[in-house]
Amino acid sequence: AQSVAQPEDQVNVAEGNPLTVKCTYSVSGNPYLFWYVQYPNRGLQFLLKYITGDNLVKGSYGFEAEFNKSQTSFHLKKPSALVSDSALYFCAVTFYSSASKIIFGSGTRLSIRP
Amino acid sequence: GAVVSQHPSWVICKSGTSVKIECRSLDFQATTMFWYRQFPKQSLMLMATSNEGSKATYEQGVEKDKFLINHASLTLSTLTVTSAHPEDSSFYICSALLNGYEQYFGPGTRLTVT
């Protein structure tokens, strides 16, 4: 079965420190990979995506992610965390088709302490 | 670009009544839209795929007579929760598909059934 794993329910980081939110996937074919962020009582906001090309992709709010095919990972990173980065983060996988469903990870709550 | 709106953002209704939630793609046309349900501190659960001009495709375990979906135009899909009960209280999120693989999410609708 195709799946996306976010092994950490919660990640706690001090403001100014680098952060990493982990994501691994188990799918067949060539997936498209996404990161979304969700603030309380809001929908999902797109952060970044990997489709093809350079394995390091840069996205919104200073976030970046590295696609690692051999490790089937797509970890989200930021060099210096902000308190405002505190939110729920979802890794997701999809495929190109006219009715392409998304496979979501379980989500990781990121908490940045001042 | 690629903005999706939902209306209402929150609604409270009495048990036994029906509630309609609208999902609109504001600056693009979407043949396919998706409806999700999210429980507190959990990931999104796909309820159904809404296709313009045809019947929606429901995920296993989702009652199609309970959750009526209509996708009457390329910019509007509606979800009607019929004869709502307290267990239907949840956060409902829609998304619209663009370019065959990108989903843009609405801000969500908080439904509370009393």
Q: Is the pLDDT of residue B108 over 70?
A: yes
Contact B71, B53 (CB under 8 A): yes
**SS3 state at B49:** strand
> Which one, of A79, A112, A107, A104, lies nearest residue A25 by Cα?
A104
Q: Please name the residues in contact with B60: beta carbons below 8 A apart, sequence gap of 6 or more.
A: none
- Search chain A and give the residue with CA nearest B103: A102
B-chain residues within 8 Å CB-CB of A96? 100-101
Contact A75, A66 (CB under 8 A): yes
A-chain residues within 8 Å CB-CB of B95? 44, 102
Alpha-carbon distance B84 to nearest alpha carbon in chain A (angstroms)? 21
Q: What is the model's pLDDT at position A40?
A: 86
pLDDT (tens place) for every residue of chain A, 114 residues total = 789 999 999 999 999 999 999 999 998 888 899 999 999 888 899 999 999 889 999 999 999 999 999 999 999 999 999 999 999 999 999 887 645 788 999 999 999 999
- Region for residue B65 given its phi and psi (left: phi exceeds 0; alpha: psi -120 to 50; beta: otherwise): alpha
Dihedral sign computed on CA atoms, order B94, A97, A104, B63: positive
The per-residue pLDDT for range B30-79, each reduced to its tens digit, is 989 999 999 888 899 999 999 888 889 999 999 999 999 999 899 999 99
Token code pair at residue B83: 């004869």
